[in-house]
Chains A and B, each alone.
Chain A
Amino acid sequence: MPLTHRGREILSRVPGGTLHSAVGVGCEIVRHEELCVGCGKCATDCPSGASERGAFFDVNQLLDAPADSRRGALGGALRRLMRHGPDGPVEVPERVTVYRTIIYDDEKCLGCGTCARGCPAAAIEARPPQADAEPAAAGAPAFEGARA
């Protein structure tokens, strides 16, 4: 976002002041598929359309899930019944709100972290960009010193 004239003037008076990008944008988004419950909240929240709810579900995600998770419980029941490995992805009907696979496209992702904030299963992690974090930490004491 471009600064106003007044903003630029104030910034020029801050010793060692550098311009940082808006908070949160440019985060690295890390998705933990084993925790995902497929609710699709990240897809509804996403401002850029990088996350979408897929129409298919990979049955292996049930079989591979940890036993104490909800998907793992379903996978455990399925494993006792199965006669052969899954044939492939299963189509998910419209009203089955969980057990969906989320399609994530990191080309479209802005790194805003909205999905991570809203995720009910804490399956998405937004890591702040390393390059920005470093000068921000160094810049703060300089600003304090300038005011004192």
Chain B
Amino acid sequence: MAGATATAAGAVRAAPASAADRKIVAFCCRECAYAAADASANARTPLPPTVRLVLMPCTGRVSPLHMLSALAEGADGVMVAGCLLGQCHYREGNFMAVDRVAFVQRLLKSVGVEPERCRMFTMSAGEPPKFVAAVREMDRVIGGLPPLPRSDAAAPAAGAAVAVRGAA
């Protein structure tokens, strides 16, 4: 699995820079954003091909390690899509996600990476157009940025993948 990830990362670097080659990982809350994505797919609304959805039980489950690992392993942008503030199925999970996204943005900014690569969106399950708009907005922002450069100095991945599973 580590090898496959490394090859994928290599392919991303070798490919000519064009906006369609970017990868955006969207961590979606099961209660709202994923349902909205489902509804938008049922309505056959085209989504940008850059986005990859990851189903989460709640955005409160997304740790800074998930977001940074996604960026380090080949994503050019990370979006966290959760419920409207105050409508979290687990009461306050999305508040935690808001703060964690802010923390990751500050970490990225502090080491010279554009903080726009990590963003939080909120929507309800009944708003597929809002989800599509959020994904298109993210696609536009990431398309305007250069591909994310990565150094291979640190050993890639197997350990990081294991650690993500243990992180809260």
For B71, list chain A residues within 8 Å (CB): 77, 81
Binds A, one of B15-23, B28-36, B108-116: B108-116
Q: Give Cα distance in the complex from A83 to B96, angstroms.
A: 28
Chain A residues within 8 Å of B166, by CB:
70
Q: Does A78 touch B at the CB level, under 8 Å?
A: yes
1/0 contact string of B59-95 vs chain A (CB within 8 Å):
0000011001101110000000000000000000001
Q: Is the CB of B69 within 8 A of A84?
A: no
Judging by beta carbons under 8 Å apart, are A94 and B99 in contact?
A: yes
Q: Report chain A residues within 8 Å CB of B159.
A: 67-68, 73, 76
Tell me whether B167 and A80 are in contact (CB under 8 A): no
Q: Which of B43-51, B129-137, B145-153 contacts A (4 or more CB under 8 A)?
A: B145-153
Indicate which residue in B152, B156, B160 contacts A73 across the interface (CB closer than 8 Å): B160
Among A85-93, A104-112, A127-135, the one that faces the other chain is A85-93
Q: Is B168 touching A98 in the complex (CB atoms < 8 A)?
A: yes
Do B72 and A80 have beta carbons less than 8 Å apart? yes
Majority secondary structure, A binding face: loop
> Is the contact region of chain B dominated by helix, strand, or loop, or is it mixed?
helix
Instruction: Compute how far the CA of A74 lies from the CA of B154 in the bound complex, rounded to whole angstroms.
Output: 12
Are B111 and A78 in contact (CB-based, < 8 A)?
A: yes
* B102 x A93 contact (CB < 8 A): yes
Closest to B73 in A: A77
Residues of A within 8 Å of B102, CB to CB, are 93
Is the pair B69, A93 in contact by a Cβ cutoff of 8 Å? Answer: no
Q: How far does the alpha carbon of A65 sit from the alpha carbon of B21 in the complex, in Å?
A: 34
Q: State A96–B75 Cα separation when bound (angstroms).
A: 23
- Interface size band for A: 20 to 34
Per-residue 0/1 for A45-72: is the Cβ within 8 Å of any B Cβ (1 yes, 0 no)? 0000000000000010010000110100
Bound form: Cα–Cα A68–B167 in Å: 12
Whether A81 contacts B111 by the Cβ 8 Å rule is: yes
Q: Which residues of A contact B160 (CB under 8 A)?
A: 73, 76-77
Q: Check A77 against B111 for contact (C-beta < 8 Å).
A: no
A95 interface residue, CB < 8 Å from B?
yes
User: Most chain-B CB neighbours within 10 Å: which of A68, A83, A96?
Assistant: A96
Do the beta carbons of A83 and B112 come within 8 Å of each other? yes
Given A77-B160, A96-B103, A83-B149 contact (CB < 8 Å): yes
Measured CB to CB, the nearest residue on chain B to A91 is B106
Q: Check A86 against B110 for contact (C-beta < 8 Å).
A: yes
Q: Which residues of A contact B150 (CB under 8 A)?
A: 80-81
Within the complex, which residue of A77, A79, A83 is in contact with B65, where a contact is CB–CB below 8 Å? A77
Q: Can you spell out 6 A-B residue pairs with CB atoms less than 8 angstroms apart?
A: A62-B107, A67-B159, A77-B71, A90-B107, A95-B95, A99-B103
